[in-house]
Structure formats: C-alpha cells, structure tokens
Amino acid sequence: MFIRTDDRITTSQAIVFMTNTILGAGILTMPRNVTQATKTPDAWVAVLLGGIIVIPVILLMVKLSQQFPGQTIFQYANRIVGRLPGKAFCLLLVCYFLIIAGFEIRSLAEVTLFFLLEGTPIWAVVLPFIWVGAYLVSGGINAIARVYQIVFPISMFVLLISFAVSSRVFDIDNLRPVLGDGFIPVLAGLRATIPVFVGYEVILTLVAFMENPRQAAKAMIGGLAILLAVYLITVIFVVGGISIDSAMTSTWPTLDLIRSFEISGFFVERLEFPLMVIWLMQMFCSFCSFFFQSSLGVAQIFNLSYQPVIFAMVPIILLSTMVPKSLQDLLLLGDMIGMMNISLFLLLVLLTVVWLIRTKGMKQHV
C-alpha cells in the first residue's frame, strides 16, 4: 500500500498525534511505577532526566526517516539491511505495536470496570472500543489527527483543572528533601521512567505523512516537551498530594489524588469521574494510534490493501487484550513493554549504524 497523496498531516497535527499516542494509560499508573523504583520524593527528577534521555532517540528516528522521503520504516527497512532482515524487523515492530494496542484497550477496560461497570464481562467493554477504533483508523491518518485535535485540548483542560483544584491537599514537604539520598535512587527510577514515553516509535512512520517533513524534528521535540511537562506536573502533584508512601501502593495513584477531596457547591463536587471519562477518550486515542501503525505495517510489508487489513486485525487485537488474566498480569505486561522498548531501540541503533556504513561506502565508491 502506498501513501495517498491527499492523506497528509500538518506540523501541528503531527505534534498532537505524537502526544496523544504516548499519553495513554501511563498517566494513571506512572507515579506508582516511578516512586516504587526511586523510593524517594525525587521521582520527578527521574522523570525529567528520562525525558532528556529520550531527546536524542527521537532525533535519531527523525533523521533516519528524513533520508527516505515519503516512506515509512516498513518500506525503507528493506533498503537498509536487505529484504529478509528488513521484513523480520518490521514484523517485530508490528507485533510490538499490536501488544501495546492490546495493553491500552485492556487498561481502558480495567479502569471502566473498576469505577463504572463492575461485574461486566471484559469482552463486552473491549469489543465496542475496538470496532469504533477500526472505523476511525479506516479513515486514514488525517481523520485520526483531526479527532485528536478535538480530544487533546479537552483532556488537558480537565487534567490541569483537576490538578489546580487538588492544590488544597498539596504539601510541599512531601517532595522534600530533594536528592536527600543522592543521585542513585534517581538512576534507579530511570528504569520505570523511560517506558512511560513508549510510543515515540510512531515517528518512524509519522514523518512520511507530514506535509513539511523538514519541520519533523521541531514537531517531535515540541510534542516531547508537552509530554514531559504533563508527566512532571502529574508526579509532583500526586506525590505532593497523597505522599510518596501512598503513591507507591496505589493502583491508580492519579485518580486516587483526585478522589481525595471534594468541591462543595461546585457543579461537579467530585472531579475523578469527569477526569476518568475524558481520560478514557485519551486512552482510546492512544489505542487507535497503535492500531493504525500495526495495520499500516502489515499492509506495507505484504503489499496488501489497507482497508481489509484493518478488519482482519480486529480479532487479533481482541485476543491480545484477553491475554492478561488479571490486573496484576496487565501491570506485568506494562513492565514487559518497557523492556521491549529498550530492545527495539537497540535494534534501531543497529539499523542506523548499517545505514551509515552503507551510505559512507557508496560515497567512497563514487
């Protein structure tokens, strides 16, 4: 499947696309993962350092994609390492996207069951979201980006309002002392911090759809800056509001922070329900991004028509969501995705090294 000439996105849409892809279930569980790893109030330092570490990775992906204008990783991987190794790498990438898609939609279902539809069969929650996602993904990347442009400002508004109101329970002493145990806990926190940026791999296909690929680096770094700001604010307010000990033991610490207070006389006295409903939309957006990536990958690897592939992926994603048998299994899957992310990055570095060697060799022959 070749990219349609009319299915392009602007620079601002690329920023929103990347941000919505990464901002999924992680915002609800990230404070727990990071605080468990650091075991100190310096979790926010680990998040900041993790974001800085991801910057060169993003620039590497952008630079590699810009060398093959109008092509995604599923198309140009063969040109770098050969047909069979290229297809093997791309299939691994598709499997990776499928696993994350299943993880996101299952996380969405778990939150829905825990707070809204207790006792409902998991498949009854998952299946409607998958079918709606298939409908959205079938419209192409421009349709997806336009939906994201609607959802993103709403979700950010509700999240920031919730944090602003939560300042009544915020205690700055919960964030002290800064680096009281040195820098070692911060380094330990990186293991849990870097996986919260899982999803930046969409850059490998996103650049090909941009109207102005030369702006890709600025767009992706801009998207990362937004993500980093949101993650920092989340960790600071959660730890400052419910303390490090509560953040370490809570399943959904961000929601627990919002549940810890009421606003008397306000239109909505408890903000966890509007936040949860809006964030379900955000998690759905993240799912659709990975659904799109995996469908596009299969279509381009095997030179198939894009639309039939989408509907063929529906039962596969459904099976992927049903693999975890419990919430604990789902959380373990989240940790495994973090490990897969690191392995994928190493493969990408290897791919880039091979491309540099081949490019240098071709120049010397010339």
Domain positions in the chain: 11-349
146 — pLDDT class (breaks 50, 70, 90): very high
Structure confidence at residue 310 as a pLDDT band (50, 70, 90): very high
Q: What is the structure's pLDDT at 341?
A: 79
Which of the two residues, 119 and 231, has the higher pLDDT score? 231
pLDDT tens-digit profile of 176-223? 887 777 788 888 888 878 778 888 888 889 999 998 889 999 999 998
Q: What percent of the chain has pLDDT over 70?
A: 93
Does residue 60 carry a pLDDT above 70? Answer: yes
In terms of residues, how long is the chain?
A: 366
Query: Higher pLDDT residue, 268 or 254?
Result: 254
Instruction: State yes or no: pLDDT of 137 exceeds 90.
Output: yes
Distance CA 170, CA 160 (A): 14
Instruction: Pull the structure tokens for residue 75.
Output: 């198309």
Identify the residue with better confidence: 137 or 276: 137
CA angle (346, 352, 353) in 5-degree steps: 90
The reported pLDDT for the residue numbered 366 is 42
Residue 9 pairs in a beta bridge with 210
pTM: 0.88
pLDDT given for residue 5 in this prediction = 45
Give Cα 317 distance to the centre of its chain. 17
Taking the C-alpha atoms of residue 30 and residue 252, their distance in angstroms, rounded to an integer, is: 9
Q: What is the mean pLDDT of residues 1-26?
A: 78
CATH class of 11-349: mainly alpha
Residue 90 predicted with pLDDT over 80:
yes
Alpha helices in 302-365 (DSSP H): 306-322, 327-365
Arithmetic mean of pLDDT, 286-291: 92
Q: Which two tokens stand for residue 49?
A: 């350092």
Average pLDDT over residues 306-331: 88
Cβ proximity of 279 and 169 under 8 Å:
no
Judged against a pLDDT cut of 50, whether residue 365 lies above it is answered with no
Give, in order, the Cα–Cα distances in Å from 317 to each of 142, 192, 298. 22, 26, 13
Instruction: For residues 85-102, give the mean pLDDT.
Output: 90
Q: How do residues 213-265 score in pLDDT, each as one tens digit?
A: 899 999 999 989 999 999 999 999 988 888 888 888 887 888 888 877 666 65
The set of residues, in sequence order, having a beta carbon less than 8 Å from that of 11 and lying 6+ positions away, is 210, 211, 212, 215, 218, 219
- The pLDDT of residue 357: 80
